[in-house]
Chain A
Amino acid sequence: MIRFEKVTKRLGRRNVLDELDMEIRPGETFVICGPSGMGKSVTLKHMVRLLTPDKGRVWVGDACVSEARGRDLEKIRSRFGVLFQGGALLQWLTAGENVALPLREHTQMSDEEIEALVREKLRLVELEDAYDKAPSDLSGGMRKRVALARAIITQPEIILYDEPTSGLDPVTSRTIDTLIDNLRRQLGVTSVVVTHDLHSALAIGSRIAMLHNGKVVEVSAPDEFIKSDNEVVRGFLDAQYITRRGHWEEEPTK
């Protein structure tokens, strides 16, 4: 579905991605995790060409997104919905207007049809009451859920989540996890989630990739991931009190 072929990206003096090879399969929830500054969000941005590789190629199906231009790029991007880290809602529009924006811009639907669809998506993220609220009146978690409703309003094949649970309390984080999982089940979408929250990754991921120094050092299903002997993975699991049995413990274990 999405394929990275030896992608290198240099930002400043550092190779953030270093000949990165990676493949995401249709219908799975692929989680990219790793420490901050290791290129997780940069990887995500390459999938929709918000960034272009210095070397290598990124494929979405049969289309090379890293070389697409104009209409071709628009066509590829129309297959995606993206949930940005802070939600990226337009501040001068209400929550409902934000969710309606892609429809108002790209369809000939009537105002009534758009409103009905927007309310349906807001109901899906359990925020129907937020229709007339300004983004500034919403909490961080609510903003992300509105942004998620906007991301799915055009029924994309692939949804990208950039740190969907960062800055949220544990209860709201699990709500977002449940939403991501429900969307995959209900809509059958392919999901790519960037996070450093391993509890979240283990709960929703079909496969988890660990990014370190611009390369993928481990890709496996959650039950294999927690048993990994890779030093970077082990350190990351220990730091979040996750043992080889998947238990949360008070002290890191070796």
Chain B
Amino acid sequence: MSLEALLFIPTAFSKRSRQEVLNQCYVTGIKSLAVISVVAAFTGMILALQTGLELRRFGLQQNIGTAVTVVMLREMGPFMTALIIAASVGSAIAAQVGTMVVSEEVSALEIMSINPVRFIVMPRLFALALMMPLLAVYTNILGILGGAVVGATQLQVSFQAYFDNARLYAENKDLYVGLVKAFVFGVVIATTACHQGFSASEGAVGVGQATRRTVIISFLVILVLGYMLTRVFYR
């Protein structure tokens, strides 16, 4: 299904698909910003506090800039973003597609010779694959800023020292790897949600089960793939 949807990606900005693609980008990106902002800031703050308290025992708390930045870029930025998007957007997609299946909307599309994969899957896949890396960048920025605030207020590490330290050790590769992960997670979430939605049957119960399976499967695949990608890029 994902492969078929990928074949339709070149038509994403055609007249008949443009509106739905932009709508999905808005739902995935803009509507998720509030919850992502809170989670991102607190992730950075927790990271800074936990590592900072340990490092302070050795007088090395000025290194929290590097610790927070590297961990956010490589792992926590894309990972936390993916979990939030899987739980909010992924579950919503599964519920919507599942409802469309049980209320015969998908059958109606087939009768009208409208390919449900192009009409339903492609805009969601495109939006998640595009918006996930952008959201991961946003999560990274807020997480790193959150860490800086904790450093300045609780660990006596000035903003200047925090960011100087971060620039010293964080590499561009850390950012790129995080973006690749975010892209892959976006594809995973969209594919899982659409597949589960299309598999829904037996009315509201089936839609509920599809939604639940989407969140569980997405979480597990994100965890496992996250580990495997880290292994590939950091041997």
A101/B107 in contact, CB under 8 A: no
- A80–B104 Cα distance when bound, in Å, is 16
Of A50, A85, A89, A106, which one neighbours B113 at CB under 8 angstroms?
A106
**Which B residues, 162 to 203, have Cβ-Cβ distances below 8 Å to chain A?**
none
| Closest chain B residue, CB of each to CB of A81 | B111
Residues of chain A lying within 8 A (CB to CB) of residue B16:
104-105
Residues of chain A lying within 8 A (CB to CB) of residue B108:
82, 84, 88, 90
B105/A90 in contact, CB under 8 A: yes
Residues of chain B lying within 8 A (CB to CB) of residue A84:
104, 107-108
Residues of chain B lying within 8 A (CB to CB) of residue A102:
112, 114
A89/B105 in contact, CB under 8 A: yes
- A80–B107 Cα distance when bound, in Å, is 13
A246 interface hit (Cβ, 8 Å): no
- A106–B16 Cα distance when bound, in Å, is 10
Of B99, B105, B107, which one neighbours A50 at CB under 8 angstroms?
B107
Interface of chain B: mostly helix, strand, loop or mixed: helix
Q: How far is the CB of A36 from chain B (nearest CB, A)?
A: 16
Residues of chain A lying within 8 A (CB to CB) of residue B54:
none
Q: How far is the CB of B118 from chain A (nearest CB, A)?
A: 10
Q: How many residues of B are counted as interface, with CB atoms below 8 angstroms from the partner's CB atoms?
A: 15
B113/A88 in contact, CB under 8 A: no
Residues of chain B lying within 8 A (CB to CB) of residue A78:
113
B160 interface hit (Cβ, 8 Å): no
- A82–B107 Cα distance when bound, in Å, is 10
A226 interface hit (Cβ, 8 Å): no
Q: How far is the CB of B188 from chain A (nearest CB, A)?
A: 24
A77 interface hit (Cβ, 8 Å): yes
Of B15, B23, B103, B114, which one neighbours A88 at CB under 8 angstroms?
B103
Q: 7 closest A-B pairs (Cβ-Cβ)?
A: A88-B108, A88-B104, A74-B113, A84-B104, A102-B112, A82-B111, A88-B105
Besides A85-B104, A90-B105, 19 other CB < 8 A contacts?
A50-B107, A77-B110, A77-B112, A77-B113, A82-B111, A84-B104, A84-B107, A84-B108, A86-B104, A88-B108, A89-B105, A90-B108, A91-B99, A102-B112, A102-B114, A104-B15, A105-B16, A105-B114, A106-B113
A–B complex contacts, Cβ < 8 Å, 23 sampled: A45-B107, A48-B111, A50-B107, A50-B110, A77-B110, A77-B111, A84-B104, A85-B104, A86-B104, A88-B103, A88-B107, A88-B108, A89-B105, A90-B105, A91-B99, A101-B112, A101-B114, A104-B16, A105-B16, A105-B112, A106-B112, A106-B113, A154-B112
